[in-house]
Amino acid sequence: MRAYRDQYADIFGERDDVVLLAISRDSPEELLSWAQDEGFAFRMLSDADGAVGHAYGAVTSSNTLNNRNLFIVDGEGLIAHRMVPFREVDPTAYTDLAAAILNTAGSGD
């Protein structure tokens, strides 16, 4: 999440048509505290029961969310691009993400 914070402007620019949502099984209170402490400029959502994680394949057989998956949803609400798993420690992953966002926005979706 710190990498997103640190690269947010480069990845998303000043666009108002891109919204980053981070989802985890942490409680809303934990996420709010973490977001405030770290200065995250994006929304963090709680998936306490794991329903979203199950729907998007981020839950392992041990029933924990440990896969870092990234989905770009277009203006119609459809998944336009998948990065599964997302390689958050690989700097090129953020370049790929920025390109995928640009391609999705430029495709007329």
pLDDT tens digits, one per residue of 87-109: 888 888 888 888 888 888 765 44
Q: DSSP 3-state assignment of 81?
A: strand
The mean pLDDT of 52-66, rounded to a whole number, is 73
Mean pLDDT of 73-86: 84
**CATH class belonging to 2-106:** alpha beta
For the chain, the distance separating the N- and C-terminal CA atoms, rounded to the nearest angstrom, is 27
Residue 107: the pLDDT is 52
What is d(CA 51, CA 62) in angstroms, rounded to the nearest whole number? 15
Between CA 2 and CA 19 the distance in angstroms is: 17
pLDDT at position 11? 76
Concatenating the DSSP letter of every residue in 19-47 gives --EEEESS-HHHHHHHHHHHT--SEEEE-
The domain limits of the chain are 2-106
> How many Å apart are CA 44 and CA 68, to the nearest integer?
14
